[in-house]
Amino acid sequence: MKILVTAMDKNENGLMDARFGRALYWYIFDTNTKESYFIDNTRSENFEHGAGMQAVANVIDEGVDVIITGSVGPKAFNIIKTKGIKVYRGNPEKSVIENLNDYENNLLEEQIN
């Protein structure tokens, strides 16, 4: 399973980014291989509209199963749900790795709409 956590920078000890579509970076952790990597999403800052929808396409391409972020807009969320991807509300005052650990310990709330 692949878990995505939105990130403010390319550091797993850095803070989670509360934004989904306009998050600066995405941290991807593969629970099967225990490998992790960052995806640079800074180009989304230049989008006037549609950052969330472009993000959804990228997330699907990456094969992500779970997203941990502050919130996802309604249009993007509807598509994410139809693809079977779960969204959990992370805490932007915690690091990327702390949010990942909270998810693994069932401490995060699933976003259902």
3-state secondary structure of 48: coil
Task: Compute mean pLDDT per 10 residues along the chain, 113 residues long, and list them.
Answer: 97 95 93 96 60 76 96 89 95 98 97 84
All structural domains of the chain, each given as residue ranges with its CATH number in brackets, are 2-111 (3.30.420.130)
Contact between 108 and 102 (Cβ < 8 Å): yes
Contact between 12 and 27 (Cβ < 8 Å): yes
Residue 86 host element (H or E) = strand 86-89
pLDDT at 52: 60
Contact between 98 and 77 (Cβ < 8 Å): no
